[in-house]
Chain A
């Protein structure tokens, strides 16, 4: 195969360009996913804002205790899990498998606690009569907006927990490397970042004073 053939068909390691961003393609792919996902969450939050502004009887049902206290605990748990994830990524980079496992499972545990608190919040809302299409307080759109935004976030948390379990097992066995842990870490921090916007817009703007 001549050099021109390689150039035409796009194969051949010698002709491949270096990454323009100096990062592995796995990490770049995760960044691009995060950007697209942030647009998805942005669209949902803007849609929620539209409905809230357009409704004259938007409910404000969240009492300090238990709802806001629960949200504060959830925030503490999620931000702490980001810290343990940083530990996992750092340990993976230096090749400390035992420490990586410990940090990853700490993050998984915190993720599970967050999901449990989230589901508890949902159950109390459902017990108060909130569903996707109705609630006892005002605009029936409240339930749909609340459950779809917090539900999408909860789905991300559960997906992250499953991904971390897979990554932890794969990293311990040697089939996955530090790059996989780092990409999962990026995803997990993004889940944390989204929560920072969900809390003020969904909960704090709808507190019962």
Chain B
């Protein structure tokens, strides 16, 4: 029979993160029904989603407990690639107004 060592209750340890994530989901729904412009709502919802994402990555996925070199290898590159995708937005406005964004 394998030896079983008892560790502190991990569910209780991460319960605050769990409730914050549920709270963020609830807050997002609340904000979605407020009278914000679409662009403001996009920024608010994305900011909250990023907060939830950071909590999930750092605590649920334990990146917080790993060596900093792993974090520095994975996360800045991913953010850089995702940010580089933003260059397409001006073209989407061109389609809507049938003229280049700068004109």
Looking across the interface, which residue of chain B has its beta carbon closest to that of A198? Answer: B49
Which residues from 1 to 55 on chain B have a C-beta closer than 8 Å to any C-beta of chain A? 2-7, 10-11, 14-15, 18, 21-22, 24-26, 28-29, 31-33, 38, 41-42, 45-46, 48-49, 52-53
Looking across the interface, which residue of chain A has its beta carbon closest to that of B44? Answer: A200
- Is the CB of A118 closer than 8 A to any CB of chain B? no
Number of interface residues of A (CB under 8 A): 54
Interface of B is mostly: helix
Query: Which residue, of B29, B86, B91, B93, has the highest number of chain A Cβ atoms within 10 A?
Result: B29
Check A82 against B60 for contact (C-beta < 8 Å). yes
Check A93 against B7 for contact (C-beta < 8 Å). yes
- Chain A positions 19 through 52: 1 when the CB is less than 8 Å from some CB of chain B, otherwise 0: 0111100001001100100110011001001110
Q: Which of B28, B82, B88 contacts A39 (CB 8 A)?
A: B82
- Is the CB of B99 closer than 8 A to any CB of chain A? no
- Shortest CB-to-CB span from A157 to chain B, Å, is 15
Question: Within 8 Å CB of A196, what residues of B?
Answer: 21, 24-25, 49, 52-53, 56
Interface of A is mostly: helix
- Is the CB of B96 closer than 8 A to any CB of chain A? yes
Q: A87-B11, A95-B3 are in contact. Are A200 and B92 (CB under 8 A)?
A: no
Q: Which of B14, B32, B69 contacts A207 (CB 8 A)?
A: B32
13 contacts between A and B (CB under 8 A): A21-B73, A39-B78, A39-B81, A46-B85, A50-B91, A72-B26, A79-B22, A93-B7, A94-B6, A189-B60, A199-B25, A201-B46, A204-B28
Listed in ascending order, the chain B residues whose CB lies under 8 Å from chain A are 2-7, 10-11, 14-15, 18, 21-22, 24-26, 28-29, 31-33, 38, 41-42, 45-46, 48-49, 52-53, 56-57, 60-61, 66-67, 69-70, 73-74, 77-78, 81-82, 85-86, 88-89, 91-93, 95-96
Listed in ascending order, the chain A residues whose CB lies under 8 Å from chain B are 20-23, 28, 31-32, 35, 38-39, 42-43, 46, 49-51, 53-56, 64, 68, 72, 75-76, 79-80, 82-87, 89-90, 93-97, 186, 189-190, 192-193, 196-197, 199-201, 204-205, 207, 209
